[in-house]
Amino acid sequence: MAEALAATAPVQGLWTDAWQRLRRSRAAIVAATLLLLVIVLAVVGPWLSAYTVEQVDWSQATLATPPSLANGHWFGTDANGRDLFVRVWIGTRMSLLVALLSTLVSVMIGVAWGATAGYLGGRVDDWMMRFVDVLYALPYMFFVIILTVVFGRSLVLIFLAIGAVGWLTMARIVRGQALALRQREFVEAAIALGLPTSTIIARHIVPNVLGTVIVYATLTVPQVILFESFLSFLGLGVQEPLTSLGRLVAEGALEMESSPWLLLVPSAVLATILLCLNFLGDGLRDALDPRQRT
């Protein structure tokens, strides 16, 4: 109810303001719309086709049939005769899921870690950030591969592994902001009010860095999708019969001379998602930058 009232208030809050500026950026709006379309297709797409992910269509002359409206394989079939339309949207679903959950994990750890280090400062900050530096020094890829080898291949592990490494940069960014924020007078006022440190960090520091965090997160999502594709390409990612965009591209690359659609279709979807997220991230960064305020 309070939210609704605030929205009708004559003077705008930080977020209404940002939203209005975002709406003015055509690139961001087009990107957001396209992205929404992709997400909707990822959710409902597989049900639109008469086929399932695993189903091999023996009725066709060859296993890998090119895209055709007549036989219901709108994007064609892969080398095993499975419908590509269904597989692409299942793959998109998986890629987006990995990307969003991993980003969520990295945002949560990164913000908590960075805000605590930056706010407390001094020796605690030194130790917390040296720990981050040490993790930075570990080869990212190597770390994830060890995790998958030790704990076996599971979907949850992929989220956690990617997220657990992805929080490092987030922590650094948030720490820098928190360091600057704790000098501000309103933080002093909060301390003088006798609020405990945890409350001050959670209520007075973290919301202030959210603008930066959101922007950085939208730029992390594409990275994670690419990384998952890479893991899948190496055979460490999502397992059959499930698939991801990364796997589909990798499989398509093997057949690209005989059946180019196997490479082109998933690549196009992947490229669309990445471009949209980058444009959206750009737009958000501009919209949330207070210097842009007129």
Partner 1 sequence: MTATARQEALLEVRNLDVRFKTAQGEVQAVSGVSLDMQAGECLAIVGESGSGKSQLLMACLGLLAANGTASGSVRFAGRELLGSSERDLNGVRGTGIALLPQDPLSSLTPHLRIGTLLTEGLLDRGLATRDEARQRAMRALEDVDISDPAARLRQYPHELSGGMRQRVALATALMCGPRLLFADEPTTALDVSVQARVIELLRGVRDRGLGVLIITHDLGVVAGLADRVAVMYAGRIVETATTAELFRDPRHPYTAALLAAVPRLDDSAQSRLQGIAGDPPQPADRFSGCAFAPRCDYAVDACSVQRPELRSIAAGGGTVACHRPLAAGAAAEAAT
User: Cβ 122 to partner 1, closest distance in Å?
Assistant: 6
List the interface residues with partner 1, window 157-196 (CB under 8 A): 184-196
DSSP 151: H
Q: Which two tokens stand for residue 242?
A: 């499930």
Candidate residues 68, 80, 199, 292; the one interacting with partner 1 per rule CB under 8 A: 199
261-288 and 245-254 helices, crossing angle to 10°:
140
User: Cβ 1 to partner 1, closest distance in Å?
Assistant: 10
Q: Which two tokens stand for residue 179?
A: 């360091």
Count the residues of the shown chain that bind partner 1, applying the rule CB under 8 A: 28
Between 13 and 260, name the residue whose CB sits nearer to partner 1. 13
What count of other Cβ atoms lies within 10 Å of the Cβ of residue 198? 10
Q: Which two tokens stand for residue 167?
A: 């929080």
User: Cβ 139 to partner 1, closest distance in Å?
Assistant: 36
Helix (H, G, I), strand (E, B) or coil at 268: helix
Does a cis peptide bond (omega within 30 degrees of 0) precede residue 222?
Answer: no
Candidate residues 203, 254, 260, 271; the one interacting with partner 1 per rule CB under 8 A: 203
Binding flag, residue 149, partner 1 (CB under 8 A) = no
Q: Cα–Cα distance between 106 and 135 in angstroms, integer?
A: 14
Binding mask 102-131 for partner 1 (x = CB under 8 A): -------------------xx---------
Q: Cα–Cα distance between 29 and 261 in angstroms, integer?
A: 29
Between 156 and 193, name the residue whose CB sits nearer to partner 1. 193
Write out the residues near partner 1 by the rule CB under 8 A.
2, 5-6, 9, 11, 13-14, 121-122, 184-197, 199, 203-204, 207-208
